[in-house]
A and B are shown apart, each in its own frame.
Chain A
C-alpha cells in the first residue's frame, strides 16, 4: 500500500503539495513514483517562471514512461530541486522529502479543489481496479 502522509494535500494527477510559510512545495506521490518505476530524467522550470493553475510545469521520465507535472495553483517558481535533476532516483527513494520538485509563491490562496489524504487514497484505490 502506498504511503500517503496525512499532513499533505494532493491532486487527482498525483502531485502532493505542502505549505511552507508563504510557499508551496510540490512533488509527486509515492503512488505516482511506484507506477512510473525507476526515474531516469527530470526537467524542471526556470526560477521566476510564472505558472497558471493546471499548467504543465515539469516532466519526470522513468525507464517506462514520461509524466507531466501540473502546477495546482497559479504562482511563481522560487526554487527548484537541482538534486533530482542530478539524481532522479531520489524521487523513488524519498518522494515526500529529498525528491521534492519545485517551490512556488502562490498568487492566491491554495484552491479548495486540492484533496486531503483520505480523498486522495480513494483516488489511488479507484485506480487499482
Chain B
C-alpha cells in the first residue's frame, strides 16, 4: 500500500493524475504539466512535497555533530538561516542532498529526500552515537512549496499583517518560525518563493487558502522540468553514492576551511581533488530537434564519452536540455546519441533559466 500525504484527497479533488514516487502516491500533474510549468515561471504555483522527511537535531553537540556529518559547514549559520549541503559517505559519495535550518543555538531542522529517507535516518543515527544529541523524525508535518514571481505579493493574503511583515523581508535561505507555520525562502524551481512546513492537520486549510489566492496546484512533472531548467540536481539521477559533489557541480557546497573540520568524506574528496577530478556535471542544450533522455550517450569528438543524467524538454526555452556527466575537459560542443542519431549540443554551465529568463 503506497503512502499518502495529508493532501491526497485534495489532489484527487483537483483532478490529479497520481503516480508512484518512492513509494508515495503523488500528483504527476493536474491536467497539463506544461501549463503548470508556465504558471510557476510567470505567476504562482504550489507543490505538495510532504513526502520529504523532516528531522530535528537537538542537544549541546548539535553543531559539532552536523559539522562532522555534512560537507557544507553549519558554523556559517545563525538562527533563522539555512544552507544546502550534501551528506557524504567515507568514500565521498553522496548519500543525500538536503537543507539544514538553524532554529536556535543547539537546535537544527533537516529536510531530506523521500527516496532516501530510511537510509538517511539510519546513517544519521549511526553517526549520532558519538555525540550528545537527539534526533527526532517527524511524521505529523506537511510541506507545501509555493513558488513563482507573484508569490511574494500573495503572502499578505495568506498571512495576517504582523506575520507578513516578518516574511516579506526574508532573504533567500532565511526563514521564520511561527507557532503554526515554519516558512523559508527556499525552493526547487529557480523562481522566488517559499517552502512552508506545518502540522498535517492544517494541510487543507493552507491548500484552500493558496487556491483562494490563485496559486495553481503543480505536480511532480512540472517540479522536474522547473528544477532541470534551474540546473538543480535531482538525487538518484544526477548524483548518488557512486559520485562525489566535485563530480556533480556541487564543489561550492563543500567547505574545506577550516582544515581542522574533518567531515565525513573529506579525506576522499581531498584525494580526488589532488589527483584531478576527471568527470564533471554540465548542462547541454540541444541544437537540433528531438528530446534528450536520461542515460543517453554523450559523445565528445576525440575525447571519449559521457552520460545524460537528466534529459528533457525545457518549456521555457522550447528546446531540449539536459544535465550530463562528462570528461572534465569537455569543450563547448558535443553530440548526444538520440535514437541512433548523433545530434549536436552546446555545453553550458547550469542554470539554463533563472527568474523566467534564459541565462546561458
Contact = CB atoms under 8 A, between A and B. Distances in A.
Interface of A: 34, 37-38, 40-41, 43, 59, 61, 63-66, 89, 92
Contacts of B33: 37-38, 63-64
Given A38-B34, A41-B291, 14 more contacts: A34-B17, A37-B17, A37-B221, A40-B34, A41-B289, A41-B290, A59-B339, A61-B313, A63-B225, A63-B312, A64-B33, A64-B221, A66-B293, A89-B34
A43 B290 CA distance: 8
By DSSP majority rule, is chain A's interface helix, strand, loop, or mixed? mixed
Contacts of B34: 38, 40, 63, 89
B88 interface: no
Interface string B314-326: 0100001000000
How many B residues touch the partner, as a band? 10 to 19
B20 to A, nearest CB: 14
A43 B29 contact: no
Interface of B: 17, 28-29, 32-34, 221, 225, 289-291, 293, 312-313, 315, 320, 339
Contacts of B221: 37, 63-64
A40 B33 CA distance: 11
A38 to B, nearest CB: 4
B28 A66 contact: no
Contact of A38 (B32, B290, B320, B339): B32
Nearest to B289: A41
Q: Which A-B residue pairs are the 5 nearest by beta carbons?
A: A38-B34, A40-B313, A61-B291, A63-B33, A38-B33
Contacts of A43: 289-290
